Every structure is written in structure tokens, then in C-alpha cells.
Homo-oligomer: A and B are copies of this chain.
Amino acid sequence: MSDRQVPSTIKDEALVSKRRNQMVKGAVTLFMEKGFHKTTTREIAKASGFSIGTLYEYIRKKEDVLFLVCDSIYQRVKVRMEDSIDPNQTSIDSLIDAIRSYFQLMDDMQNEVLVMYQEVKSLSRDAQEYVLQKEREMVSMLEQVIMNSLPEKRSEAEVKLIANNIFVQGQMWGFRRWILHRSFTIDTYADTQILLLMNGLNNKTQV
């Protein structure tokens, strides 16, 4: 669906999907290792299992690959978030569950998230806007959960900030792994972040 943004000369839509999946899979690894700019289209083609000519039957420009990668990552993240988060729940525990499963997701997709994180700026304005929109949607899923789960009413800004904090803390687990993975596993990381979120520095209670 979102793929409609990247036109292909190939008619067979199923084939287009299949080839693009190959592409994204190959490209993520490469982008992770060397970054978008240092990865050549030939390398992408090779990693995807077809020729450079074929690659260009399914995209127009190199940047399209990056867009496809980002899009696919967001798609997968979003699906998994929707699966594991029920915004209609109203208990504090449901918020905690949501956070925990989001952190777990960020652990599973560390590499992908890292890539996206570092390379979005290489997208065109348009594509960047599209991607930011996706991110806004995800943040507002978190906002929903937060609002529904908290007993006392909070200001909109405060809720936004909490959502953003959680969102970034999830990504942080990936992009600051060099410092965080020394002191934490994903589980202790989640526990400690939740503890801090709930109690701040003034109280010290077990979650």
C-alpha cells in the first residue's frame, strides 16, 4: 500500500512485493554495516540476489531503497505495537505491559531501528515527512495508553513528553548499546526505566 509511493516498471504486483522484500532484507544488513552512502547499488543488487538491471526495474533511484527499508521497518514496528498494545485498557499495569513489550520490540529490532535512526536524514524532504508521520502515529499510540492508564488527569504536554521519553528510551537501548548493554539486559533495562517512570527520584518502591 505504502509502496505505491515508489513506482516500478513491473506489472505483477506480487512479484514486486517479493523482490522488494529481498531488497529490504539485503539492504538493511548493508546499511547497518557501512551506512547508506557507502553502500553501492551494485552491492544492494547482489545482496538481494539479482542483477543491477533488475534492481532498477523495481525502484527509480537509490534513495528509494532507503525509503523502502524505512517504510518496512515502521510497518513492522507498527504492526507489532498494535498487536501488543491495547489503548482501551485503563490500568497502570496495562501501561507497564505496553512499555515492556515496546522495549522488547526495540530489542528485537535493534539493528533496523539503528539504521533508520541514522539514515532518515538521507531521505528527500517528502519521504522524511512521510516517515515522521509514521513516528507521530506511534508516539500517539503511546500517548493514548498513557492517558487511559493514569488515574489523575495530566496536561497534554506532559503526556506528550512522557510518550516521547518512552519512545526515545526504547530507541536508546539500540543506539546507546555501547554503554547500556554493559550494565543492563533488556529486562533489567525495562524494569529500571519503568521504576523510574513510576516513582521518579522521590520514592523508592518495588514495581
Interface residues of A (CB under 8 A from B): 35, 37, 118, 121-122, 132, 135-136, 139, 150, 152, 156-158, 160-162, 164-165, 168-169, 172, 176, 178-180, 183-184, 188-189, 192-193, 195-205
Which residues of chain B are within 8 angstroms of A160 by Cβ–Cβ distance? 179, 183
Nearest chain B CB to A158 CB, angstrom units:
6
Point out which of A132, A135, A189, A202 has the most chain B C-beta atoms below 10 A from its C-beta.
Answer: A202
Additional pairs, 6, CB under 8 Å, beyond known A162-B196, A196-B197: A161-B196, A168-B176, A197-B201, A199-B201, A200-B201, A200-B202
Is B150 touching A164 in the complex (CB atoms < 8 A)? no
Which residues of chain B are within 8 angstroms of A35 by Cβ–Cβ distance? 121-122
Is A198 touching B188 in the complex (CB atoms < 8 A)? no
Interchain CA distance A150-B199 in the complex, whole Å: 14
Nearest chain B CB to A192 CB, angstrom units:
5
Interchain CA distance A205-B200 in the complex, whole Å: 11
Is A199 touching B202 in the complex (CB atoms < 8 A)? yes
Which residues of chain B are within 8 angstroms of A203 by Cβ–Cβ distance? 200, 202-203
Identical copies in the complex: 4
Main secondary structure of the interface of A (DSSP, over half): helix
Interchain CA distance A40-B66 in the complex, whole Å: 22
Is B188 touching A157 in the complex (CB atoms < 8 A)? yes
Q: With A132-B178, A178-B132 known to touch, is A184 a contact of B161 (CB < 8 Å)?
A: yes
Nearest chain B residue, comparing its CB with the CB of A163: B179
Nearest chain B residue, comparing its CB with the CB of A201: B198
Nearest chain B CB to A182 CB, angstrom units:
9
Is B157 touching A184 in the complex (CB atoms < 8 A)? yes
Interchain CA distance A157-B187 in the complex, whole Å: 13
Which residues of chain B are within 8 angstroms of A200 by Cβ–Cβ distance? 196-203
Which residues of chain B are within 8 angstroms of A201 by Cβ–Cβ distance? 150, 162, 197-200
Nearest chain B residue, comparing its CB with the CB of A171: B168
